[in-house]
Amino acid sequence: MNTQNFWLIIPLVIGFILPSFFFLGKKPKNIFLSAVDEYFYTRRANLFEKCPRCKDSKVFYCKLYEVEPSDMEIGEQIDDNCYYLISKEGQLYTLGFLYDINSLALAFIEEPHKFNSYINQFYPLLEPYQSLANIIELEDEIFWQEPDLFCSKCHEQVNQTPIYLGRTFIR
């Protein structure tokens, strides 16, 4: 076997034999691809803070109050809350409202044990929350949210600094 034949055999091995390990059998296919999936799966879930009290939940909420658009005076608390995830850097990511059918919050609140699968499914849809005065404007309604965050499981206050420009820090 000379070197010219050796260089022809290398592409054949790489092109035909190596891919068969990933696409033909069940075991070899899952070894590489599931390792890559598992890396990103756990990496995304670990981007977000856990509650410092119960050490279980990663979903937090703020209480909302009605605001009169004419004079921007804060009114009564509404029944719904605004739900968030908090990154390790303190950035809030909006999940939305519990009673909004188009919101991501409902899935995270109803089935907290599926957090990892939901975060991977909805990760591209997460948007950072940024507001100077903690004002949320929807179609024809304006809400003010408290600068305090509460855990969705144990309902204890978790932030040590008020929410400012969409950021806060967990205790």
For the chain, what is the domain count? 2
40-77 pLDDT tens trace: 778 888 889 999 999 889 999 999 999 988 888 899 99
> 110 and 37: one domain?
no
pLDDT bucket at 169, cuts 50 / 70 / 90 = confident
Q: For the residues of 54-96, what is the DSSP string, one character each?
A: TS----EEEEEEEE-TTT--EEEEEEEEEEEEEBTTSBEEEEE
Assess contact for 149 and 86: CB atoms under 8 A.
Answer: yes
Q: Which domain holds residue 71?
A: 60-151
pLDDT of residue 52: 92
Rounded Cα distance between 98 and 102, Å, is 9
> How far apart, in Å, do the first and last CA atoms of the chain sit?
68
In a domain, 90, yes or no: yes
81-134 pLDDT tens trace: 999 999 999 999 999 888 888 888 988 988 888 898 899 888 888 989 888 788
pLDDT of residue 61: 94
168-171 CB contacts, 8 Å cutoff, 24+ apart: 168/86, 168/90, 168/92, 169/90, 170/49, 170/51, 170/52, 170/86, 170/90, 171/52
Assess whether pLDDT exceeds 90 at residue 151.
Answer: yes
> 27 and 107: one domain?
no
> 40 and 73: one domain?
no
In a domain, 166, yes or no: no
> 65 and 147: one domain?
yes
20-41 pLDDT tens trace: 666 555 454 566 666 777 777 7
Rounded Cα distance between 52 and 60, Å, is 11
> 65 and 9: one domain?
no
